[in-house]
């Protein structure tokens, strides 16, 4: 047989775990070369057999199976979050702060910078809002001209009037003018509303809210699902790899993996909740509704759990790789 055939089979053998290749690689290679002389050239079957060996757990070790299931579940949550994050990198970028301030001034007529709020939508996408309170009148033309001048296409516009009693100690109602509008621009959506008290004795009788967010990218749901599946498979493969080396490397890798999975459980739970919101939210991002996360899974706890879990699992992999592996079988 040619050297080319041998190189091809050696590449295919990479589908098997390293310990398996070290123990039986030469025997398998010899068999494959003998089969090739008879006209048999296995390819896909060899790769599938190698992958099956990578997923195989030690027999009669139920705790290893439990650990593999737990690792798959935890890393599945991380994979879902990673897929969602990658998908949103393909979406339109929200306006810079100075652009939002300029748009707010054009629509409201209120001078000065207004408070800005950067938030995360129900689908884990970016959202920016500006809240302006001050003294101004209601002008539908100003809002329309401001939007079209900034490159927005108005998709809806509604005006209404009402009367309210501004304060409990007042008995006289004052007229209120309301405005609500939506617009789109280059993959972005905008919602705005205004509430202006006419003839009010208060200092800031007008209140405007403008919110901008990107339309969900077409790859959002597919990448979230793909990330979840990749995380599930990675978790199982991680435990299978550590289990093959545990006897030679001692209990240190197993302890580190267990500690890492325990630390990462809380972030994984949060990521699954977020992935559920991504997959079940109304298609097309009709509004940037915010969903409340788990009350005990604050961003700081999520970060601490994620870092601690990844460090412990990485240490387990390093320790296991430094020790000779136990031959399979």
**Which bin fits 148, alpha (ψ -120 to 50), beta or left (φ > 0)?**
alpha
Say which residues have a Cβ less than 8 Å from residue 158's Cβ, sequence separation at least 6: 179, 180, 181
Backbone angles phi, psi at 273, to 5 degrees: -60, -45
pLDDT of the chain, 329 residues: tens digit per residue: 457 767 777 777 777 777 777 777 677 777 676 666 655 666 677 778 778 888 888 777 777 888 888 889 989 999 999 999 999 999 999 999 999 999 999 999 988 889 999 988 888 899 999 999 988 888 999 999 999 999 999 999 999 988 776 666 666 777 889 999 999 999 999 999 999 987 656 555 899 999 999 999 999 999 999 999 999 999 888 888 877 766 445 566 667 777 777 788 888 888 998 899 898 887 777 777 665 544 455 677 777 777 877 787 677 667 666 655 445 44
Two tokens, residue 193: 């509303």
For the record, the structure tokens of 42 come out as 């296995």
Strands 188-197 and 174-185: antiparallel
Distance of alpha carbon 1 from its chain centroid, rounded?
Answer: 50
Host H or E run for residue 301 = helix 299-322
Give one DSSP letter per residue of 194-246, joined into a string: EEEETT--SS--EEEEEEEEEPPPTTHHHHHHHHHHHHHHHHHHHHHHHHHHH
Q: Which two tokens stand for residue 326?
A: 């136990």
Q: Global pTM?
A: 0.75
Residue 329 has what pLDDT?
47
Determine how β-strand 153-164 pairs with β-strand 126-134.
Answer: unpaired
As a whole number of angstroms, the distance between CA 105 and CA 69 comes to: 55
CB 103 within 8 A of CB 225: no
């Amino acid at each position: 047989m040619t050297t080319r055939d041998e190189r091809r089979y050696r590449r295919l053998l990479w589908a098997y775990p390293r310990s398996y290749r070290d123990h039986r690689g030469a025997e398998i290679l010899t068999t494959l070369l003998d089969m090739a002389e008879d006209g048999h050239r296995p390819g896909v079957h060899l790769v599938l057999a190698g992958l099956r060996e990578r997923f195989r757990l030690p027999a009669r070790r139920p705790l290893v199976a439990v650990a593999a299931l737990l690792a798959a579940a935890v890393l599945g949550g991380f994979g879902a979050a990673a897929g969602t994050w990658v998908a949103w990198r393909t979406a339109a970028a929200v306006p810079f702060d100075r652009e939002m301030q300029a748009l707010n001034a054009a629509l409201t007529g209120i001078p000065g910078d207004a408070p800005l709020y950067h938030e995360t939508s129900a689908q884990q996408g970016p959202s920016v809002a500006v809240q302006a309170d001050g003294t101004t009148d209601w002008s539908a033309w100003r809002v329309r001209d401001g939007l079209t001048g900034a490159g927005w296409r108005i998709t809806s516009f509604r005006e209404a009037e009402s009367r309210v009693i501004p304060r409990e100690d007042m008995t006289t109602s004052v007229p209120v003018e309301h405005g609500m509008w939506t617009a789109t621009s280059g993959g972005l959506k905008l919602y705005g509303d205004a509430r202006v008290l006419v003839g009010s004795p208060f200092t800031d009788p007008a209140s405007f809210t403008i919110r901008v967010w990107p339309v969900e990218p077409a790859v959002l749901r597919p990448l979230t699902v793909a990330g979840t599946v990749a995380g599930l498979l990675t978790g199982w493969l991680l435990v299978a790899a550590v289990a093959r080396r545990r006897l030679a490397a001692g209990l240190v890798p197993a302890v580190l993996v267990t500690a890492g999975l325990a630390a990462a459980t809380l972030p994984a739970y949060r990521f699954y909740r977020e992935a559920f919101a991504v997959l079940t939210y109304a298609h097309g991002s009709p509004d940037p509704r915010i969903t409340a996360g788990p009350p005990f899974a604050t961003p700081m706890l999520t970060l601490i759990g994620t870092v601690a879990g990844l460090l412990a699992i990485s240490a387990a992999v390093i320790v296991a790789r430094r020790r000779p592996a136990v031959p399979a079988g």
